[in-house]
Homo-oligomer: A and B are copies of this chain.
Amino acid sequence: MKPIQVGLLGIGTVGSGVFNVLQRNQEEIRRRAGRGIEIACVADLDTARARSIVGEGTRVVGDAREVIANPEIDIVIELIGGYGIAKQLVLEAIAAGKHVVTANKALLAVHGTEIFKAAADKGVVVAYEAAVAGGIPIIKALREGLSANQIQWVAGIINGTTNFILSEMRDKGLDFDVVLKEAQRLGYAEADPTFDIEGVDAAHKATIMSAIAFGIPVQFDKAYVEGITKLSAADIRYAEQLGYRIKLLGITKRTDKGVELRVHPSLVPAKRLIANVEGAMNAVVVHGDAVGTTLYYGKGAGSEPTASAVIADLVDITRLIEADPAHRVPPLAFQSHTLGAAGQDLPVLPMAEVVTSYYLRIRVADQAGVLARITGLLADAGISIDAVLQREADEVGGEGSTQTDVIILTHDTREGDMDGALAQIQALPTVLAPITRIRKEELN
């Protein structure tokens, strides 16, 4: 049988990984897929660099539309990124009847509904294993491996840059700004790191996972997004003393009222495996009602790990390329005609409705009665306290200090109730600085 013909749009880090792995492992991949898979054409604005990567045997063009228009091409891989031209090209490829493989989480989290609809209408696949957690086959696990389950929650370290920064902050006791600079120097953070450190990239990925876990549309605009820029070395140290690590988690959870979808720093018990995921590694914990807690760990970025996911999608498409589309796994895990059916579209909850526990660090005047006032206000709001860590004044501010940190861990409460209580505590004259509030997840 003729090898499957693939067109590659964009041959940067991931694209060159795809090209190299497909070449190196072509025999093994053919033995698995039952058919060869080859890159027939590469489009990149920098044709000279593209040529230097692919050598003489592969066609290189400067115009992506030439690839899409080529009737020989079966599958188009989109590795351009972003929502601009990438969106146009993906829609054009679909319209031309090509199957599409993409690593573009931003595109799918924001425009997924439109794209999957277009693909369904044309009977083509849009596959995106590489869009979440790089080489870890988490999309496959959620859509197929755990298909027996009512998924209850998913929580993941799904951004390597921020996990690297948090690992370094903890290891070396340094503050955010210092470590960010080091991460940029080492290539773990980009020159403009906003999407990573503000949690946007993790929120794109969490949005995609929420859709396939719960059978709801992608709704990035409803996600709560908070990054790691305000974390201090002190919070990491206090958390450690209380038996916790701080990780940037993408969380999505099913509740009776709707779906939680949120990205923020979280305290996680130090004994959980996910709390021990260090450096730029990724890990996703999935809790299903039948299977219980499962975890998936690996490299979340990089040339060949991401290529591993892209090529797995190519193999899946190759197997079913001549089959009736009804035989394929639905793109968002659930049959598309059941998305949005009555009673099945759980709303994404506003943050005030989210129920979780909290770590609070409150800078107070070191005088009698302060703790009693604070705990009294929490009690009035119905918030119960799990643990209190009160530092000696001189541990914090040096000898003769009149300030200290009070650290409080709470039990589960509505975020809206916590907001109200914190406003009152913040207004106390004995509270001397903005309160630090970090959510806490037990993940068991």
Contact = CB atoms under 8 A, between A and B. Distances in A.
Interface of A: 17, 21-22, 24-25, 28-29, 31-34, 129, 135-137, 140-141, 143-150, 215, 271, 273, 276-277, 288-299, 304-305, 307-312, 314-316, 319-320, 322-324, 326-330, 333-335, 338, 344
A163 to B, nearest CB: 14
A316 B144 contact: yes
A39 to B, nearest CB: 13
Contact of A312 (B32, B144, B276): B144
A141 B144 contact: no
Contacts of A308: 146, 148-149, 288, 290-291
B326 A324 contact: no
Contact of A298 (B21, B295, B344): B295
Given A32-B143, A140-B145, 12 more contacts: A136-B294, A137-B145, A140-B144, A141-B141, A145-B312, A289-B304, A290-B308, A291-B299, A291-B304, A292-B298, A294-B299, A296-B296
A276 B288 CA distance: 22
29 contacts: A17-B290, A21-B149, A21-B290, A22-B148, A25-B148, A25-B150, A28-B149, A31-B334, A31-B344, A135-B290, A135-B291, A135-B292, A135-B294, A137-B144, A140-B141, A140-B145, A148-B312, A148-B315, A271-B276, A273-B276, A273-B277, A290-B304, A291-B299, A294-B298, A294-B299, A295-B296, A295-B298, A319-B328, A322-B324
Contacts of A305: 290-292
B145 A31 contact: no
Contacts of A289: 21, 24-25, 304
Copies of this chain present in the complex amount to: 2
A137 B139 CA distance: 12
Given A299-B291, A311-B147, A323-B323, A215 B141 contact: no
A273 B290 contact: no
Nearest to A311: B148
A305 B294 CA distance: 10
Contacts of A315: 144, 147-148
Given A32-B330, A335-B31, A291 B298 contact: yes
Contact of A148 (B149, B293, B307): B307
A28, A309, A335 — most chain B CB neighbours (10 Å):
A28
Contact of A31 (B31, B149, B338): B338
